[in-house]
């Protein structure tokens, strides 16, 4: 019997970008489809306490992936919503899981919780060394409080809650809505649509100098499930690919994959966000054997292909 064959598992956000890949990874590892509960936000609002109690009843494990998220512009326009929704969902769900005797709780946090000026590569012990980058601080702090909750519940109740910090994700089924998407899907959409229209240029936010690290979504799903199987520690764990690329180089790579031959124009009145982002991923490898596998350009090609076929 596999680790998963007799488990009852709740995956919040299981129909979303990351969640759908986590569900597929669980099934690949032997979890029967009928043992997976995926609440949909239109039917089950996790900001409502009674709904949290209901979905946690009878579960062996909870993956809390549901989140209210978006790119820099979305964060600037909706800081209160992002703080409230993410804090209240996570706090209530973890408390409900504890009351319903769930054996393990897997909380997925965010790289946005790190301080604005964190030494690169970001180590987990740097997490409390300063305030997050202003444009996404409310979101990052709401998610960071769930680490505090997980550690407090472990200390007082012996509750097995683990906390993972994935870097920026990308890949098939990403959110390509221009009002709320992150940088890779936003760039893919811009270049594909500019090519179709025959535009002579594409305008990008910021200076292009900021750097980011990206993790292919299937790698992230595999890492999350590996942690669920093998990690029972109190300390947060980074999930990343262990590289850093500037937004300018990223844009040039996506432009090349899409086959757009126009000019790149940078709107420097728009914010860059955090200056640099790259993770130290050694703890994940040491604790549960996770390493990213999908080469970056190959992952981008798959993301572009998915968007072109599904837009």
Please name the residues in contact with 263: beta carbons below 8 A apart, sequence gap of 6 or more: 200, 201, 202
pLDDT at 295: 97
Confirm whether 124 is domain-assigned: yes
pLDDT at 73: 83
Whole-angstrom Cα distance, residue 224 to residue 215? 12
pLDDT at 71: 79
Question: Which of the residues 74, 84, 131, 139 is marked catalytic?
Answer: 139
Confirm whether 250 is domain-assigned: no
pLDDT at 235: 98
pLDDT at 179: 83
Confirm whether 142 is domain-assigned: yes
Whole-angstrom Cα distance, residue 46 to residue 57? 14
pLDDT at 1: 60
Read off the pLDDT of residues 196-228 as tens digits, 9 standing for 90 and up: 999 999 999 999 999 999 999 999 999 999 999
Is the distance from CB of 176 to CB of 241 less than 8 angstroms?
Answer: no
pLDDT at 214: 97
Residue 139 falls in the annotated catalytic set = yes
Confirm whether 203 is domain-assigned: no
pTM value surpassing 0.75: yes
CATH number for 98: 3.40.50.720
The β-bridge partners of 263 are 201
The parent domain of residue 110 ranges over 9-169+214-242+276-294
Counted domains in the chain: 1
The β-bridge partners of 266 are 204
Read off the pLDDT of residues 17-38 as tens digits, 9 standing for 90 and up: 999 999 999 999 999 999 999 9
Low-confidence stretches of the chain (pLDDT beneath 70): 1
Confirm whether 102 is domain-assigned: yes
Confirm whether 196 is domain-assigned: no
Asked if residue 290 has a cis previous peptide bond (ω within 30° of 0), the answer is no
pLDDT at 74: 85
Confirm whether 192 is domain-assigned: no
């Amino acid at each position: 019997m596999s680790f998963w064959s007799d488990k009852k598992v709740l995956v919040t956000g299981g129909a979303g970008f990351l969640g759908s890949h986590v569900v597929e990874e669980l099934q690949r590892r032997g979890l029967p489809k009928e043992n997976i509960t995926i609440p949909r936000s239109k039917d089950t609002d996790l900001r409502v306490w009674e709904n949290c109690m209901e979905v946690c009843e009878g579960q062996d494990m909870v993956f809390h992936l549901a989140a209210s998220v978006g790119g820099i512009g979305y964060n600037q326009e909706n800081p209160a919503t992002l703080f409230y929704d993410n804090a209240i969902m996570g706090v209530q769900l973890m408390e409900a899981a504890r009351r319903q005797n769930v054996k393990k709780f897997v909380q997925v946090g965010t790289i946005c919780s790190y301080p604005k000026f964190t030494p690169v590569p970001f180590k987990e012990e740097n997490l409390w060394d300063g305030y997050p980058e202003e444009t996404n601080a409310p979101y990052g702090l709401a998610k960071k409080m769930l680490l505090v909750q997980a550690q407090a519940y472990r200390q007082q109740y012996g509750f097995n809650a683990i906390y993972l910090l994935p870097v920026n994700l990308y890949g098939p089924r990403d959110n390509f809505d221009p009002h709320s998407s992150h940088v890779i899907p936003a760039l893919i959409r811009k270049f594909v649509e500019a090519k179709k229209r025959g535009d002579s240029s594409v305008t990008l936010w910021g200076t292009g100098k900021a750097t980011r690290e990206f993790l292919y979504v299937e790698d992230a799903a595999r890492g999350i499930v590996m942690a669920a199987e093998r990690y029972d520690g109190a300390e947060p764990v980074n999930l990343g690919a262990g590289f850093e690329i500037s937004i300018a180089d990223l844009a040039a790579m996506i432009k090349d994959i899409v086959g757009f031959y126009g000019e790149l124009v940078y709107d420097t009145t728009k914010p860059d966000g955090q200056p640099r982002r790259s993770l130290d991923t050694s703890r994940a490898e040491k604790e549960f054997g996770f390493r990213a596998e999908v080469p970056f350009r190959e992952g981008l090609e798959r993301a572009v292909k998915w968007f072109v076929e599904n837009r």
